[in-house]
Amino acid sequence: MSFQDKYLQCSDCGATFTFSAEEQEFSRSRSYTNEPKRCPPCHAARKTKRYGDGDYSHRSRSWQHMFRLNLYQVLGDPNSN
């Protein structure tokens, strides 16, 4: 199937942005069914608002993960023998 560039309107700022043929092909290969709703700047701003400054290495961890880390600090790592 051949794709053509589409011009979409951002749901946040109302700007028109291009959903390129390459992006459409990638979306199809990943089985995405929806077209993007936001332009790239609004998409990035929303991600930053949700996850902070973009440094995803400091996401909040589950309490189980934090418990294990604390336990390993106290008792030592059981895999280090």
Is 26 part of a structural domain of the chain?
yes
Considering the domain boundaries, does residue 21 fall inside one? yes
Residue 47 has pLDDT above 60, yes or no: yes
Could you list the residue range(s) of the whole structural domain that residue 18 is in? 1-53
Average pLDDT of the segment spanning 33-60: 79
Look at residue 17 and tell me if it is in a domain. Answer: yes
pLDDT band per the 50, 70, 90 thresholds, residue 31: very high
- Of 12, 2, 6, 15, the closest CA to residue 34 belongs to 6
Q: Please report, rounded to a whole number, the percentage of residues in the chain having pLDDT higher than 70.
A: 73
Q: How far apart are CA 74 and CA 81, in angstroms?
A: 16
Inside any domain, residue 61:
no
Give the residue, 71 or 55, on which the prediction is more confident.
71
Give the least confident one: 35-39, 57-61, 76-80.
57-61
Assess if residue 19 is contained within a domain: yes
